[in-house]
Structure 1
Amino acid sequence: MTLVLIILIALFGALVRTVFGFGEALVTMPLLALIGFNLQTSTALIGVLGLLVALPATIKFRAQIDFAVVRRLVAGSLLGVPLGILLIKTVNRTLVLHLFGVFLICYGAYSLYKAFRKSTGKVRLHAKGWDYVAGMISGILGSAFNSHGVPVVMYGTLKRWPVDKMRGIAQAHFVCVGMIVVASQVASGFWSLEVVQLLLIIIPLLFVVIPFENWISAHIARETLVKYIYVLLIIFGGLLFFR
């Protein structure tokens, strides 16, 4: 029964990532912890599955990707990763998660309010240097809390990127950073025979569910999808706050 739940949770995470472009770790990690699954194994499993799901999405949205932005985001993430490791070693983890959760809830609620009022506001953070800052925050939260997708998506909403461009940039960024994360997890001994066995079961199922998830994504209006993203930010903020 536990094996079935692990597989269903992993596939649900793939659904969230495919449809919305981010957030699978914030959904799956608490659920796996809820059923008592080993944290280290969960981290390794979700890390590689997130990378595998991001690859076809990157190919799908490749025409929408601004690779110059991706390079700056990745450069910032490389600077942020060691800072994130330092963060979890020196700062109270619960306090940081709570503060980040409250920020996501406030930002998501405010943006959702504006979306329903049809008030888009002005494009913010024009300078290219902000790409490095967003990437650094992504690297910090990614290495510390496996949450590197959320800052990039939030940054994209501030920049008023079109939905497909935001998803393409987020996926390309995740592929680059994800390869580094997975390699570091392997080097750190996170992988085990159990991880390999689960991957052998789940990966074939991804070939079945991802086309279905792409179909769902294609049938959601872009304006509606943006509102769903804001709702997800609120939900993820709640998950982080009560984590």
Structure 2
Amino acid sequence: MSVTIITLVVVAVFIGALMRTVFGFGEAIVSMPLLALLPIPIHTSVSLIGLAGLTVASLTVVSGWRHIERPILIRLALSTVIGIPVGLVMLYLAPASVIMTGLGIFLIIYGVYSVIKKRIVKTIDHPLLKAKGWVYPFGFASGVLGGAYNFNGVPVVIYGTLRQWNPDRFRGTLQAHFLISGVLVVTGHAIGGLWTVDVLVLYGYSIPAILLATVLGVYVNKRIPAKKFESYLFLIIILLGVLMLVPRG
């Protein structure tokens, strides 16, 4: 790979890690589409962002540990384990064009949902999905999307929104889930043979950027009200989804 490609990959990883540290999630949602625009295999992108996400989770999980909803976290982990192999099979068997289209559609749907979710929450005067069993399909979806696209946090974000978690519980449980599911997803990638020399080299180049993004993200998170930037972030996600649907010659 050329120096230009390596630099662009590191920049994509940095932007994703920064989003993750500031907002509590979003590294794969931002980095995966950016990497998909570069001339590198989709399997390389998936493995690289899996490693990057696990690194960020390891650095940020401690701060919210006391706010974790542990029974929910255990159920999420159990159902995530079942979903990861399904996602890996999808990644192996689905043509790249199908993966790109699916990725684009998913980003658009999630971006639109995120933009309007505040209005949805305002109309709900009590938490939904009170039954304990609801956590299992969301955990399974987390495993499937984590194995295929590293989007393991998205179903948990939606679940936490419908349960109306307070900000501390939301962030703490989400970061703990990222750590556990990240270990499972990365292990699945390694066992599935997705790790290559290119993946490890790109990850090595990205480590300083990940560390810098984590420090900078913590600084920004403490001093700038992140909610003001959420709308812009989700609009960017929608735009990236549209770009994924543009045919490539």
Which TM-score band applies after superposition, normalised by the shorter structure? 0.7 to 0.9
* Among 103, 106, 113, the residue aligned to 1:107: 113
The reply to whether residue 153 of structure 1 matches residue 157 of structure 2 is: yes
CA contact (8 A) 1:29 1:43 kept: yes
- Any stretches of 5+ residues in structure 1 without a counterpart? none
The reply to whether residue 45 of structure 1 matches residue 48 of structure 2 is: yes
C-alpha deviation, 1:98, in angstroms: 5.8
* Among 14, 17, 20, the residue aligned to 1:14: 17
Q: Deviations over 1:71-102 (max 9, x none)?
A: 11111212222343455658965675465445
CA contact (8 A) 1:84 1:144 kept: yes
Q: Deviations over 1:102-149 (max 9, x none)?
A: 54244223224457xx66643111122112121112112222332111
Question: 1:4-153 alignment to 2 at 5 Å?
Answer: 4-85=7-88, 89=93, 93=99, 96-97=102-103, 100-113=106-119, 121-153=125-157
Percent of residue pairs identical: 35
User: What RMSD over aligned residues (CA atoms) do the two structures have, in Å?
Assistant: 2.7
* Among 163, 168, 174, the residue aligned to 1:164: 168
CA contact (8 A) 2:88 2:144 kept: yes
Counterpart residue type for residue 146 of structure 2:
G
Count of residues paired in the alignment: 238
- Cα distance change, pair 154–237 in 1 and its aligned pair in 2 (3 A): farther
- Using the alignment, how far apart are the partners of 2:126 and 2:229 within structure 1? 21
- Cα distance change, pair 121–237 in 1 and its aligned pair in 2 (3 A): farther
- Cα distance change, pair 163–99 in 1 and its aligned pair in 2 (3 A): same
CA contact (8 A) 1:69 1:131 kept: yes
Counterpart residue type for residue 198 of structure 2:
E
- Any stretches of 5+ residues in structure 2 without a counterpart? 245-249
C-alpha deviation, 1:237, in angstroms: 4.7
- Using the alignment, how far apart are the partners of 1:99 and 1:31 within structure 2? 15
- Using the alignment, how far apart are the partners of 1:65 and 1:110 within structure 2? 26
- Using the alignment, how far apart are the partners of 2:201 and 2:102 within structure 1? 34
- Using the alignment, how far apart are the partners of 1:234 and 1:139 within structure 2? 25
Of 162-171 and 46-55, deviating more is 162-171
- Using the alignment, how far apart are the partners of 1:32 and 1:96 within structure 2? 15
C-alpha deviation, 1:69, in angstroms: 1.1
